[in-house]
Amino acid sequence: MNDFVLPFDQWLAQVVASVESTLDVYLPTEDEEPAFLHEVMRYAVLGPGKRVRAALVYASGLACQSSLDTEHFKALSLAASAVELIHAYSLVHDDLPCMDNDELRRGRPTCHIKYGEAMALLAADALQPLAFKQLSQMPVAPALVIQAIDILSSAAGSHGMVGGQVIDVCHVGQQLSLTQLQQMHRMKTGAMIEGSVLLGAISSGANSEVRQALEDYAAAIGLAFQVVDDILDATVDSQSLGKTAGKDEQSQKPTYVSLMGLESSKTFVNQLHQTALAALLPLGPQAQRLRELADFIIRRHY
Amino acid sequence: MNDFVLPFDQWLAQVVASVESTLDVYLPTEDEEPAFLHEVMRYAVLGPGKRVRAALVYASGLACQSSLDTEHFKALSLAASAVELIHAYSLVHDDLPCMDNDELRRGRPTCHIKYGEAMALLAADALQPLAFKQLSQMPVAPALVIQAIDILSSAAGSHGMVGGQVIDVCHVGQQLSLTQLQQMHRMKTGAMIEGSVLLGAISSGANSEVRQALEDYAAAIGLAFQVVDDILDATVDSQSLGKTAGKDEQSQKPTYVSLMGLESSKTFVNQLHQTALAALLPLGPQAQRLRELADFIIRRHY
């Protein structure tokens, strides 16, 4: 994990294996009651996924303290699984008929298509407290655990992810200004991206200067992540995307592409990429995985 | 709050005022964006409610340490508001069309009737992280904060409240054994009742002997609470109940009344009442508010 010579895709594969093994251990199993609920929770979380947020936690941890001991690695794994649990719950609720009404997610039937709406609703509801339990078990100083919980609750709450989703839902079919769109994306996707990077830093005892650099990095790639999503939705077919493509235009959602056009959106992504890399300069070579993740997020084509 | 001479109903009114003022301070306001989301969150939480769980937090705190100083009072208020936030989110999701499809709650339109399904879903989603944030701000030793977060996450998770809801949803129209019904209720309602009592104890630095007595008390009244709910649903009209009455029978939900009959259910409640009072004996006069709450929960008629 802390071998900087390893090619990025192999490092990312290690990250995916590591967070999925942590999730597998901490998610309740189908041997425990209520077995059906646990099956749905595991379906929602353990399916194929890029695990970008988890990778950001580990990469941020490495940027702060490159020699990972066992405790530090465990703390990062718990933080990484916590952000993946929040992300997974949000996707399940996002896909529900009263929200995006999506039938396909990561190439598989969405949770409510497979298990029904009530089970999808409840399984996702049970993922949230599990995320906070994960953080409560991090082997770091109790004061840092409490900071981590504060950060995750802000990122997942009404001033973060859920707030962004509400602005999104409330503006379907309406024109948004670029500032409003940016605010929506900063909250909807950016808050959890920033939260992931900060959790990695907190689990590693980063000082406030390092945290600030990481926040600047995260703000830029968080935004870039959503702009790239909008570009992909407008340009890639459903099969390659692993979810229903063209949904944004079909449902008249405001996007960067609808507002700025495709070319300007691509230019904007490149600017954000440069901003992210510049923010990492003070961190030196230890920030390698964060730089590679910025490239990965921005250059993904599926 | 810690005046034991005050009649119970006046003490309870103090509790309600205290937890509602804490919720009012910590819930985001409509002056902050997204204003609409914050309006829905406040509607879901700040409506009329008995605040039984909040009262259990304070009463349990008093049973452990009857002289409440400012910090202790603040810790109990934060814990009490955390359990009320979890309870409020669960009611909003429970009322959704894919769940109980209820239109009336505490005498008012349910959240999705007033604001639409998407907003009800999301506002409730934003209440969960806020509950954990409340606990993270308790002015007690960090190790106790972490214990509190662990307890709330268990109570609200798949082995607690949500697990119980799933068992409930999965057995509509089916016969349950008394053991299965009891297990379902222990999780669905009992877990948060027990969690509330334990949070009060933890915020007050209770030792393990006291915690055990409180757990025994909470297990008995948690179960009694649900049996009383079943009895009320079968015997009281909608207007007095403040929600749609007779829903259980109509939706063929297994209940104590359908399984044991009305008279045996009432006998069972009285047995649980005695068990709860017996558990409190070692705690002496300081447990007065817990005893009164047991009476209140069991004798309520609306």
> Is residue A302 pLDDT above 50, yes or no?
no
Q: Check CB contact under 8 Å for B37 and A163.
A: yes
Beta-carbon contacts of B185 under 8 Å, excluding residues fewer than 6 positions away, are B164, B222, B223, B226, B227
Cβ neighbours around A282 below 10 Å, total: 11
Closest residue in B to A116 (Cα–Cα): B98
According to CATH, the superfamily of the domain at A8-299 is Farnesyl Diphosphate Synthase (1.10.600.10)
Comparison of pLDDT for B65 and A21, the residue scoring more: A21
| CATH number, span B8-297 | 1.10.600.10
Average the pLDDT over A98-103 and give the result. Answer: 95
Which of A142, A146, A153 is facing B129, going by the closest CB pair?
Answer: A153
- Give helix then strand counts, H and E, for chain B: 16, 2
For residue range B164-192, list pLDDT tens digits in order: 999 999 987 788 888 989 999 999 999 99
> Is residue A5 pLDDT above 60, yes or no?
yes
Q: Check CB contact under 8 Å for A130 and B157.
A: yes
pLDDT > 70: what percent of chain B? 95
**A contacts of B167 (beta carbons < 8 Å):** 33-34
Give dist(CA A101, CA A251) in Å, integer: 10
| Residue in the block written with tokens 């009060």 | B200
Q: Check CB contact under 8 Å for B158 and A133.
A: no
Give dist(CA B39, CA B32) in Å, integer: 10
For residue range A224-269, list pLDDT tens digits in order: 998 998 899 888 876 666 666 666 666 677 889 989 999 999 999 9
Cβ neighbours around A4 below 10 Å, total: 11
Give dist(CA B46, CA B11) in Å, integer: 19
**B contacts of A145 (beta carbons < 8 Å):** 142, 146
Tell me what pLDDT residue B302 has. Answer: 41
Mutation target among A78, A137, A159, A162 for the B interface, most CBs of B within 10 A: A162
For residue range A38-78, list pLDDT tens digits in order: 999 999 999 899 999 999 999 999 999 878 899 999 999 99
**A contacts of B82 (beta carbons < 8 Å):** none
Q: Check CB contact under 8 Å for B133 and A157.
A: yes
Tell me what pLDDT residue B173 has. Answer: 78
Cβ neighbours around A179 below 10 Å, total: 8
Tell me the pLDDT of chain A averaged across its residues. 93
Q: Check CB contact under 8 Å for A149 and B143.
A: no
**B contacts of A157 (beta carbons < 8 Å):** 126, 129-130, 133
Asked if the interface predicted TM-score (ipTM) of this complex is over 0.90, the answer is yes
Distance from CA of B4 to the nearest CA of A (A): 34
Q: Check CB contact under 8 Å for B158 and A34.
A: yes
Any bridge partners for residue B108, and if so which? B105
Distance from CA of A150 to the nearest CA of B (A): 6
Per-residue pLDDT of chain B (302 residues; tens, 9 = 90+): 777 899 999 999 999 999 999 999 999 999 999 999 999 999 999 989 999 999 999 999 999 987 889 999 999 999 999 999 999 999 999 999 999 999 999 899 999 999 999 999 999 999 999 999 999 999 999 999 999 999 999 999 999 999 999 999 998 778 888 898 999 999 999 999 999 999 999 999 999 999 999 999 999 999 999 899 889 988 887 666 666 666 666 667 788 998 999 999 999 999 999 999 999 999 999 999 999 999 999 887 54
Say if residues B27 and B45 touch (Cβ distance below 8 Å).
Answer: yes
Say if residues B40 and B120 touch (Cβ distance below 8 Å).
Answer: yes
Cβ neighbours around A211 below 10 Å, total: 16
Q: What is the DSSP letter of A189?
A: I
